[in-house]
């Protein structure tokens, strides 16, 4: 093969065998951004939600998503495709439902990616300015993070996985250190079981806390996006899904419990309301000193960078799948022949990030409150909607093709998961202004973009009715309906 041939983009197929279970788990956990969630969503959940009952709320969210995952992993064994929710909806509910899901996914993942980038630029400016002792604008930080992400996304996916793994390990170790310090300081009795009492969990503000709990898990479902690049995807993807969910649920439950215990169950909500930005940092400083709190601040920046890189990679793979099926321009399906990266889709996605960032900057909007919160909130809402649709799709698929699958795992569990996700979705819509923190009508009207995207996607899928829109064009792998 010539040098030119080795770098010429090829159409639509990723290199299989590049990623193991650990690589996929790193991508998923980094996308969840543990440190970023603990500093932002966890504190807000305690302050505005059910206070000391937040750990119990995380337990409920984890159970609902575990039910969903029982069917999700079975579906991933039948269909190995970078399209994720879109592919599942198409097989389970039909072509038009698949098209609607595709465009909702496109909107949700791009919105979440841009929102995370806004928060990254803001916190990066704050942290770097503190370290350098001089002001560094968020625009400069945004440019630097943008360029680093572009380089990592261009090369093979395993390089990005290694970068994410380092960042993830650091933030997880620091937060586990905080958990251990609270345990040593207060002993097992300090972790009050009151946080799991029904009256506390389902008390005032439960809806807000459940909304933020589901938001904290966003990204765990991305395991299926890497099926085409996984070693033995029929085993790797299910293992990565269950492992990611277990780690996320356990980690957030324990860390939230530790944070509440550090202040006391009766005082945590008041402390979070009084100083939400420093709620976790103050607890860390009290337990392990100011230097530890400063390290936590640095890791907030690295956590958000890892989340941005992971969400960018996830979004690019969605765009490849949609381009392969004619729902986006065909050129976006090209894969770099040498590095196996979705080079064209990645370029388009980064271009959208750049355009949105420039627009918000020219409008004088705050990168965190103006761009970050509103767009990430929209992304979270869309992804929970996608999970609910996927659960229904899984039930629909296995009602027709249940060969070798248990009724519980293939139908009953995902059906219960769909009900739980639907309840969470209603709570998220009702409490969307709380999530955005804005009283602007246009910001709180952003959820209306979801049905608009669904209608556009269904219409586009309908236009492709015919031979090229049949199930035979599901590239690169057909669902193995006979798989057990």
SS (H, E, C) 50-111: CHHHHHHHHHHHHHHHHHHHHHHHHHHHHCCCCCCHHHHHHHHHCHHHHHHHHHHHHHHHHH
| Sequence-distant (≥ 6) Cβ neighbours of residue 58 within 8 angstroms | 213, 216, 249, 252, 253, 256
Residue 458 lies in a domain: yes
184 lies in some domain: yes
Question: Is residue 347 assigned to a domain?
Answer: yes
353 Cβ contact list (under 8 Å, min separation 6): 113, 114, 117, 146, 312
What is the arithmetic mean of pLDDT over 171-194?
86
Q: Is residue 173 part of a domain?
A: yes
Higher pLDDT, 268 or 473: 268
Q: HSE, CB side, 13 Å, CA atoms: give it for residue 362.
A: 6
For residue 296, how many C-alpha atoms fall within 13 Å in the half-sphere facing its CB?
28
Domain count for the chain: 1
Residues recorded for the chain: 484
- What pLDDT, in 10s, does the model give residues 291-302? 888 888 888 888
- Mind listing the pLDDT tens digit for each residue in 109-140? 899 999 999 989 988 898 888 777 888 999 99
List, in sequence order, every residue forming a beta bridge with 335; answer none if it has no partner. Answer: 10
- Of 404, 389, 410, residue with least CA distance to 100: 389
pLDDT in tens, 194-219: 899 999 999 888 888 888 888 888 87
CA trace torsion 52, 54, 56, 58 (10° rounding): -160
Task: Dig out the tokens for 136 from the structure.
Answer: 């560094």
Please state the separation of Cα 326 from the chain's center in Å.
25
280 located within any domain:
yes
* Contact yes or no for 383/109 (Cβ under 8 A): yes
Euclidean distance between CA atoms 27 and 42, whole angstroms:
21
Question: By percentage, how much of the chain surpasses pLDDT 70?
Answer: 83
Report yes or no on 4 lying in a domain.
no
CA gap 56, 113 in Å, rounded: 29
What is the per-residue pLDDT for 18?
59
188 in any annotated domain: yes
- The pLDDT tens digits of the residues spanning 9-61 come to 344 454 445 567 777 777 677 667 788 888 877 888 898 889 999 999 999 99
How many angstroms separate the CA atoms of 78 and 479, rounded? 5
Whether 354 is in a domain gets the answer yes
Are 333 and 82 in contact by the 8 Å Cβ rule? The answer is no
Helix (H, G, I), strand (E, B) or coil at 19: strand
Residue whose tokens read 């996984």 = 230
How far is 474 from 281, CA to CA, in rounded Å? 49
CATH of the domain at 67: 1.20.1740.10
Domain of 380 in residue numbering reads as 13-473
| pLDDT for the residue numbered 354 | 95
What the block records as the tokens of 297 is: 């601040």
Pairing state between β 10-11 and 334-335: antiparallel
Q: How far apart, in Å, are the Cα atoms of 163 and each of 22, 96, 167, 260, 306?
A: 13, 38, 7, 32, 8
pLDDT of residue 24: 77
3-state secondary structure of 119: helix
């Amino acid at each position: 093969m010539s040098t030119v041939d080795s770098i010429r983009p090829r159409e639509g197929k990723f290199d299989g065998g590049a990623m193991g279970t650990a690589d996929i788990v790193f991508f998923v956990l980094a996308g969840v951004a543990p440190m970023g969630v603990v500093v932002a969503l966890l504190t807000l959940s305690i302050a505005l939600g059910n206070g000391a009952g937040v750990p119990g709320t995380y337990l409920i969210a984890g159970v609902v998503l575990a039910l969903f995952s029982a069917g999700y992993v079975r579906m991933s064994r039948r269909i190995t495709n970078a399209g994720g929710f879109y592919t599942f909806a198409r097989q389970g509910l039909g072509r038009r439902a698949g098209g609607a899901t595709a465009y909702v996914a496109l909107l949700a993942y791009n919105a979440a990616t841009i929102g995370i980038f806004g928060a990254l630029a803001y916190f990066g400016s704050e942290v770097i300015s503190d370290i350098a002792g001089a002001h560094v604008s968020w625009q400069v930080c945004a440019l630097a993070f943008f360029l680093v992400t572009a380089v990592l996304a261009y090369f093979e996916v395993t390089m990005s996985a290694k970068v994410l793994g380092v960042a993830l390990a650091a933030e997880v170790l620091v937060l586990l250190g905080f958990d251990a310090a609270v345990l040593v300081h207060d002993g097992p009795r300090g972790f009050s079981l009151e946080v799991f009492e029904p009256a506390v969990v389902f008390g005032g503000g439960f809806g807000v806390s459940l909304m933020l709990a589901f938001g904290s898990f966003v990204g765990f479902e991305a395991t299926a996006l890497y099926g085409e690049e996984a070693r033995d995807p029929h085993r790797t993807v299910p293992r990565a899904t269950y492992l990611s969910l277990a780690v996320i649920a356990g980690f957030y439950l324990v860390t939230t419990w530790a944070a509440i215990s550090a202040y006391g169950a009766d005082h945590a909500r008041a402390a979070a309301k009084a100083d939400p930005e420093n709620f976790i940092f103050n607890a860390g400083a009290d337990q392990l000193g100011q230097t530890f709190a400063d390290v936590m601040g640095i890791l907030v920046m690295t956590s958000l960078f890892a989340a941005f890189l992971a969400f960018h990679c996830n979004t690019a793979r969605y765009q490849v799948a949609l381009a392969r099926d004619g729902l986006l321009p065909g050129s976006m399906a090209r894969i770099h022949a040498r590095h196996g990266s979705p080079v064209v889709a990645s370029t388009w996605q980064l271009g959208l990030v750049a355009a949105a960032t420039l627009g918000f900057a020219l409008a004088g909007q705050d990168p965190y409150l103006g761009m970050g919160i509103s767009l990430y909130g929209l992304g979270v809402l869309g992804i929970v909607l996608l999970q609910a649709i996927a659960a229904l799709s899984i039930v629909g698929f296995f009602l027709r093709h249940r060969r070798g699958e248990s009724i519980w795992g293939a139908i009953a569990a995902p059906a219960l998961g769909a009900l739980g996700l639907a309840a969470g979705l209603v709570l998220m819509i009702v409490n969307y202004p709380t999530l955005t923190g804005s009283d602007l009508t246009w910001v709180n009207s952003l959820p209306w973009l979801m049905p608009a995207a669904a209608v556009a996607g269904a219409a586009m899928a309908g236009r492709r009715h015919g031979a090229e829109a049949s199930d035979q064009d599901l590239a690169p792998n057909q669902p193995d309906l006979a798989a057990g």
